[in-house]
Structure formats: C-alpha cells, structure tokens
Chains A and B, each alone.
Chain A
Amino acid sequence: AQSVTQLDSHVSVSEGTPVLLRCNYSSSYSPSLFWYVQHPNKGLQLLLKYTSAATLVKGINGFEAEFKKSETSFHLTKPSAHMSDAAEYFCVVIGGYSSASKIIFGSGTRLSIRP
C-alpha cells in the first residue's frame, strides 16, 4: 500500500529566505513521487517528479526535491522564496507503472510568503 504524509499544513517564510516543505512516503513498490502546486483559482501544476533516476530532482521556478530512500522522504526546497510562491503544495505518490496505478495525495501544505 502507498501513502504520503505532509508534515506541515502551513508554512510561512519571509521573502528571500529558504523554503522547506516536508513529505514522507510509504510504498510497497519503488515509488514515483511528485510535487504539485496549486495557486488560487488555478489547476494543479506539476513542479517536479522522481521516477528512480537521479535522487536530486530539479523542477520549475527554482524548486528541487531530494529522494532519500533511507528516510522515506521527498522534501521540497527552494533557496530563496518569492512572493509568487505563495500557494498550496501537494506531495504525491504513485505506487506502480500502469495507467491503473492510483495517485495518492498528501493533505497539502499552504505556503505563505511574508514581505
């Protein structure tokens, strides 16, 4: 069975400071892991994905995430927050490689940026 836990429901940082959004997963298979972002009144947008290639994954808008099997973590980071990063972020696990594999969402982390 697959599951994903986002450890913080809300994170607030100052503009220009680092961002860390935490995600832990559980999977019976070698997982595919994703981070999605949802800005207000917009659809879910893929930020980055891990599919058993390089463990450090770079995504759009300066975000990156590191897959750590020993810690079962896939935390999302960004060196310097921008006001436009304010949104809700979802960690996602897919436990398989077929189109029937279910996508499991974390509960979401709302990121606020202070001026």
Chain B
Amino acid sequence: EAGVTQFPSHSVIEKGQTVTLRCDPISGHDNLYWYRRVMGKEIKFLLHFVKESKQDESGMPNNRFLAERTGGTYSTLKVQPAELEDSGVYFCASSQDLLAGVGYNEQFFGPGTRLTVL
C-alpha cells in the first residue's frame, strides 16, 4: 500500500512568488493534515481536512496560505505571495476516521516538502 506522498520534495522560490504544494494521502483516509517546521523549531499544526471540508484551520498563519482538498482526495497548499519566513519543511499526514474502528488517531506522514524562499 502506498504511503502519503508529497510533491515537490524541494522548492526554491523568490520572495513574492507563488508556490503550490501537493499532498496525496493514503487511499481511504478521510482525514488529512498539514504541518510545518520553520527554522528547526517545533513542528506546528496548520490545518485539518475531513474529506473535502476544513475541520480546523486554526494553525494557518495568515491569509497568504490557502489549502484546498477538492473531491476529498489530494490536497494542495498554496502560498501567495511567499515571504522569507515561510521557508521550512511542510509535512502532510493522513489518518482513518475513528468510525472505521481505529482506537486512536494514528497519523501517517509524508516525507515533507522543503520550501526555501530567497
């Protein structure tokens, strides 16, 4: 079974440009999460989708970040315009819904996208 995949693995852009990150969750996982780790600090929660709906977007830093999950499958995270402080590693994770009988919210992580804003 394929794990969570993310594209691209690394992106280098200039300040003011736009970047779109993509995440493909494990097939059948309704829950999809975005996290980021900036400047070697803690990994921080950004937002949580349940299928195509945003369950919690309290971690989104500002309105330059837009996340979508069309059709409840893959998700994109767009940064527009990018700023220097957006540099970091963006992780995506997915999990099954608890109704599927899973007793805890184990999340499976992708390899991350390393974003460098110059």
Binding site for B on A (CB under 8 A): 32, 34, 36, 41-46, 49, 51, 90, 94, 96-108
Number of interface residues of B (CB under 8 A): 31
Residues of A within 8 A of B93 (CB): 44, 103
- Interface contacts (Cβ under 8 Å), in number, total 65
Q: How far is the CA of A101 from the CA of B31 in the complex (A)?
A: 11
Interface string of B70-102 (1 = CB under 8 A from A): 000000000000000000000101010110000
Residues of A within 8 A of B31 (CB): 99
A106–B91 CB distance below 8 A:
no
Nearest opposing residue in chain B for A103, CB measure: B107
Q: Which listed residue, B4, B33, B35, B105, touches A98 by the CB 8 Å rule?
A: B105
Q: How far is the CA of A90 from the CA of B41 in the complex (A)?
A: 12
Nearest opposing residue in chain B for A44, CB measure: B109
